Structure formats: structure tokens, C-alpha cells
């Protein structure tokens, strides 16, 4: 399936491997940070809404 | 502005750290490199321009973190920011004081160190000229970096990380002037660029640095 | 309907929210499609053998590494002039992406250089300019991390980006001056001389598009994260005041 890369197989596969690793790492890190921040914001906003709810319950 | 310049000068000389430190460091570099690289005269002669320039560059870095930090801490930077002298002028005066205390001694000491590194005879004049033209840029760029990091508690290493990449063009052109001058080649272009960087820095960086200081004083 | 509407964080969140799935789709098509095309379906070069396949990573990464910095420059200027927080946060978000692309450019460049030039690292002008750009990215990211107050950080990093751009530009030419270089000329310029052959050019353009879309995708995603972080900080500050 992989084309015959000849004597440069190591170089080409190494380059692709390293790049894909870095890109995947960047994407995963970005996704993880995004998810974490969304969760944190939802939590803080829920607290804020609860407090606002309490304030109006006289 | 003259008063500020003289004040900074006296402070630097009296505190001792500013004045002798850069020069001593420069000397150390000129001693350590042959020790690390080996005494072969030909090799040393070839790398001398670069080593001397790198040494000068690193020596300039040393006193940068104190450029604004001391005044920031005791509140005098706030006073200077509101004084009748424009903050840009303050930056220029401080950079000039830094140059007189750090850059100028390097320019004067360089020929002696050139000897230690077997610099070719034709190179000495251009070593002095390139350092004289280029070290003001180093002081100004350094002042900008110091202004950015003045509010930070442990800003020292960050200051170097910010400033060193900006030193690259000056380093390249400065070392090229010496290298080509030593070999008797054409170096006019490099010298012109070097001068342009210094003049450009003088024209623009005081404004950028003043802006950074104002941000940090908020 | 003006682009300045997106300076409003809520509007930005709304629009980027529905844009994201589309951009993700396009990114996957172009990036994976392009790399697949280039890796599996193109011939070897008579001079460079199979290493020519590295071009599909190296060139797009290099182009985006510089473009990312340019985008940061523009958004930094917008922050300095118009004080739109979304702009400052977009610059902050773009930096790690640009740095990663620059590192990929350097790594692939070095790996490609080894069999071609016989050395892992040659102080070639383009690679060296890239290395310096990487250092500028590091400094920018470090400054954001070091300054506590977000607005102060935004201001300082913007000034750094603007001044740094001047020096990065100067470095590019200084480095050319310093070393005439082993790097080939522009691979994709519109005039004939050193052009890459068509059979390589098409997958290459696809990969460039893929990398560009990936950049847009990640900037949108990361800016949303930054906007959320800012909102959290504001809400927490209010919580503390009310407590």
C-alpha cells in the first residue's frame, strides 16, 4: 500500500510522522482546552444564575 | 533630560554593578572561547569577529534589567512619566546612559580582546567602527525589552528571550563588517545597514518603549 | 453588515459556533485529501527521489508559519487602535498554532535537508530565518504567560508583536546577506524558472489550502476558548465582589 520510498523511506516517514504528531497534538490540546473552558464557564454561569434566582426569591 | 542622563550615569558608576560588569563579562568571553575552542591561531582569527560581537551583545544584556526596574520599584518612574520631559526623552536618556556605561567601554576594550582572538590586523579598525555604530542599537533595543518587562517580578530571563531575537540583525551586520573588513572585502552595505538599524531604533524605539512603560504604570 | 460586528464577543461566539463544523469539514477534505494525494499518488522526483513528498508538509507549514505571525500583527494593531478584545484574544490564540507550524517547517526542513544537502542542519537563510521566527513566537507566548492583568498583557504583547515584526523582517534580509544559501528558489512563483512541475503543484496547493483551513479552524476554536476564559474571569470577579 505504501509506495516504494526507496532509500529515503526513513526520511519521508520520519517527516510525515513528526508533522502529524505535532498537528494532532496541537488539535487535541486545543480541543481539550476548549472543552475544559466550556465546562468551567457553564459551572460559573450556573452559579451566577442560581444567585440571581435567589436574589429575586423574596 | 541632561540631568536624568547624568543621574543615571552616576548611579551606574557608583553602584559598580553596571559599569565594570559588562566589561568583565566581555573579557571573560574572550578568555573562555579560546579555552573552549583550542589555541589554533587560524581558527581563532576566523571566528574572532563573531565571538567579539556575541560577547559585546551578551555584555550589553547584563545591565538591562536594572534600566527601569529600580525606578519602577521606588516610584520614581511614575514621577518621570508625569514630568515635563516626555517619556520618550526619558527612555532615550536612559538608553544613552546605558550605552555610555556598557557599550562605549566595549568599543574601547575591543581591540585588546581582538588581540586575544588573533583578529586579522585589517579588522581592528572595523571592529571598533562596527561596535561604535552598532552598540547604540543594542542599548535601545534593550531599553525596549526592559520597558516591556519592567512590571514583572522575575522578568530577567524573559527579557533576554525577548531581546536576543531582536539583536540578530545588528549582530549579523556588525560581525559581517568586521569579517569582511578583516579580509579586505567590500563591507559598505553591511555598515550602512548597521547604521540604519541604529538610527531607526533611535527614531522608533523610544516611542514603543514609552508606550510599554505607560501600560506598565497603569 | 461590517466585519466589526465580530468585535462583539457574543456575535463572534455565535458566528464561529455555526462556522466551525463547516470549516472542520473543509479542513479534513483538503488536508487529508491533499496529503493522501501527494503521498500516494505522485511520482518520485528524478533528483530528490521520494523525499520530494516532504514538500507537502514543509511548504504549507512554512507558508502558514509566516502568515500566522502576519495575522497576529494585524490583530495586534486592531487591538492597539480600536481596543477590540476579540482581536487581542485572536492574536493570543494564533501564536501557538504559528509556532507549531514553524516547528514543523523546521523539522521537515532538517529531515529533508539531510539526504539532500548531507547535513541535518545547514545555516541556510530560509531555515535560519524560520528559526528566528520561532524564537519570536516563543517570546510572544512567554510574555502573555508572564503578565497577570489581561489588558496589560494584551497591550504589551501587541507592542512586542509590532516591533518584533520589524526586526523579524530585518532578520530575514540580514540572514540572506549572511549566507547566500542552499535553498532552492520560490517553488510556486508565477514566473516559470524554478517552478515545481504540475503533477506536484496541484496536490501542493491542496495541502496549502488544508493547512490554511486548519489554521482558521484552530484560531476560531482557540479564540472561543479565550473569550470563555475572559468571561469566567469577569464572573468570578463579580462573585468575589458580591461575597
Chains that touch A (3 or more CB pairs under 8 A): C
Q: pLDDT band for C192, please (50, 70, 90 cuts).
A: very low
Mean pLDDT computed over B47-71: 91
**pLDDT surpassing 90 at residue B84:** no
- Select the residue of A9, A19, A44 nearest C104 (Cβ to Cβ): A19
The pLDDT, as a whole number, for residue B83 is 83
Q: What pTM, to 2 d.p., does this model score?
A: 0.91
The pLDDT, as a whole number, for residue C190 is 33
The pLDDT, as a whole number, for residue B47 is 94
Q: pLDDT band for C177, please (50, 70, 90 cuts).
A: confident
- Select the residue of B165, B193, B205 nearest C136 (Cβ to Cβ): B165
Q: Do C156 and B197 touch (CB under 8 A)?
A: no
- In angstroms, what CA-CA distances link C144 with B31, B54, B162, C23, C138? 38, 28, 12, 28, 10
Chain A residues within 8 A of C62 when measuring between CB atoms: none
DSSP-derived 3-state class of residue B63: coil
Q: Where are the alpha helices (DSSP H) in chain C?
A: 9-41, 55-82, 85-117, 125-146, 150-178, 198-242
Chain C residues within 8 A of B174 when measuring between CB atoms: none
The pLDDT, as a whole number, for residue B13 is 65
**pLDDT surpassing 70 at residue B15:** no
> Among residues C40, C38, C45, C44, which one has the least CA distance to residue C60?
C38
Q: Do C171 and B165 touch (CB under 8 A)?
A: yes
The string of pLDDT tens digits covering residues C67-110 is 999 999 999 999 999 999 999 999 999 999 999 999 999 999 98
**Residues β-bridged to residue C45:** C49
Chain A residues within 8 A of C221 when measuring between CB atoms: 30-31, 34
Q: pLDDT band for A57, please (50, 70, 90 cuts).
A: low
The string of pLDDT tens digits covering residues C109-155 is 989 888 877 777 878 788 889 999 999 999 999 999 999 999 999 99
Mean pLDDT over the full length of chain B: 90
Mean pLDDT computed over C176-186: 63
Provide the b/e sequence for B92-112 (b: ≥16 CB within 10 Å): bbbbbbbbbbbbbbbbebbbe
Interface contact A47, partner C, CB < 8 A: yes
- Select the residue of C138, C152, C171 nearest B169 (Cβ to Cβ): C171
Mean pLDDT over the full length of chain C: 88
The pLDDT, as a whole number, for residue C125 is 82
DSSP-derived 3-state class of residue C213: helix
Is the distance from CB of B133 to CB of B99 less than 8 angstroms? no
Q: Do B165 and C135 touch (CB under 8 A)?
A: yes
Q: pLDDT band for B159, please (50, 70, 90 cuts).
A: very high
Mean pLDDT computed over B170-174: 95
Q: pLDDT band for C182, please (50, 70, 90 cuts).
A: very low
A-C interface (Cβ pairs under 8 Å ≥ 3): yes
C-alpha cell at A53: 434566582
Amino acid at each position: 500500500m505504501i509506495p516504494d520510498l526507496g532509500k529515503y523511506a526513513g526520511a519521508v516517514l520520519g517527516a510525515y510522522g513528526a508533522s502529524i504528531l505535532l498537528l494532532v497534538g496541537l488539535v487535541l490540546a486545543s480541543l481539550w482546552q476548549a472543552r475544559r473552558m466550556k465546562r468551567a464557564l457553564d459551572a460559573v454561569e450556573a452559579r451566577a444564575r442560581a444567585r440571581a434566582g435567589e436574589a429575586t426569591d423574596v | 533630560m541632561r540631568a536624568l542622563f547624568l543621574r543615571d550615569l552616576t548611579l551606574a558608576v557608583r553602584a559598580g554593578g553596571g559599569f565594570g560588569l559588562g566589561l568583565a563579562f566581555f573579557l571573560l568571553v574572550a578568555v573562555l572561547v579560546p579555552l573552549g575552542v583550542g589555541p589554533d591561531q587560524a581558527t581563532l582569527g576566523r571566528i574572532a569577529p563573531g565571538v567579539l560581537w556575541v560577547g559585546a551583545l551578551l555584555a550589553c544584556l547584563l545591565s538591562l534589567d536594572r534600566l527601569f526596574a529600580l525606578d519602577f520599584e521606588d516610584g520614581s518612574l511614575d514621577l518621570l512619566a508625569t514630568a515635563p520631559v516626555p517619556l520618550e526623552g526619558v527612555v532615550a536618556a536612559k538608553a544613552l546612559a546605558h550605552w555610555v556605561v556598557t557599550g562605549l567601554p566595549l568599543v574601547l576594550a575591543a581591540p585588546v580582546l581582538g588581540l586575544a582572538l588573533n583578529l586579522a590586523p585589517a579588522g581592528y579598525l572595523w571592529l571598533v567602527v562596527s561596535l561604535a555604530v552598532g552598540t547604540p542599537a543594542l542599548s535601545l533595543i534593550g531599553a525596549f525589552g526592559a520597558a516591556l518587562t519592567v512590571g514583572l517580578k522575575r522578568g530577567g530571563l524573559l527579557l533576554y528571550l525577548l531581546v536576543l531575537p531582536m539583536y540578530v540583525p545588528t549582530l549579523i551586520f556588525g560581525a559581517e563588517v568586521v569579517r569582511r573588513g578583516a579580509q579586505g572585502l567590500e563591507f559598505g552595505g553591511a555598515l550602512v545597514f548597521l547604521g540604519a538599524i541604529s538610527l531607526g531604533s533611535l527614531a522608533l524605539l523610544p516611542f514603543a518603549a514609552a508606550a510599554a512603560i505607560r501600560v506598565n504604570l497603569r | 453588515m461590517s466585519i466589526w460586528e465580530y468585535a462583539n464577543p457574543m456575535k463572534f461566539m455565535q458566528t464561529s459556533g455555526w462556522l466551525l463544523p463547516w470549516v472542520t469539514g473543509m479542513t479534513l477534505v483538503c488536508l487529508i485529501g491533499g496529503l493522501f494525494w501527494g503521498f500516494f499518488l505522485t511520482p518520485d522526483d528524478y533528483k530528490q527521489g521520494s523525499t520530494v513528498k516532504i514538500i507537502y508538509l514543509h511548504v504549507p507549514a512554512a507558508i502558514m508559519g509566516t502568515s500566522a505571525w502576519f495575522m497576529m500583527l494585524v490583530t495586534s494593531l486592531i487591538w492597539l487602535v480600536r481596543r477590540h478584545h476579540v482581536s487581542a484574544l485572536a492574536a493570543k490564540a494564533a501564536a501557538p498554532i504559528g509556532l507549531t507550524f514553524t516547528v514543523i517547517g523546521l523539522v521537515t526542513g532538517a529531515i529533508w535537508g539531510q539526504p539532500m544537502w548531507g547535513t541535518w542542519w545547514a545555516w541556510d537563510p530560509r531555515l535560519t530565518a524560520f528559526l528566528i521566527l520561532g524564537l519570536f513566537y516563543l517570546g510572544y507566548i512567554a510574555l502573555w504567560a508572564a503578565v497577570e492583568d489581561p489588558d496589560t498583557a494584551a497591550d504589551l504583547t501587541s507592542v512586542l508583536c509590532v516591533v518584533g515584526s520589524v526586526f523579524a523582517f530585518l532578520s530575514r534580509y540580514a540572514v540572506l546577506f549572511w549566507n547566500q544559501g542552499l535553498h532552492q528558489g520560490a517553488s510556486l512563483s508565477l514566473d516559470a524558472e524554478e517552478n515545481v512541475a504540475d503533477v506536484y503543484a496541484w496536490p501542493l496547493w491542496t495541502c496549502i489550502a488544508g493547512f490554511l483551513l486548519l489554521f482558521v479552524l484552530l484560531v476560531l476554536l482557540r479564540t472561543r476558548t479565550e473569550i470563555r476564559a475572559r468571561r469566567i474571569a469577569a464572573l468570578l470577579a463579580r462573585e468575589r465582589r458580591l461575597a
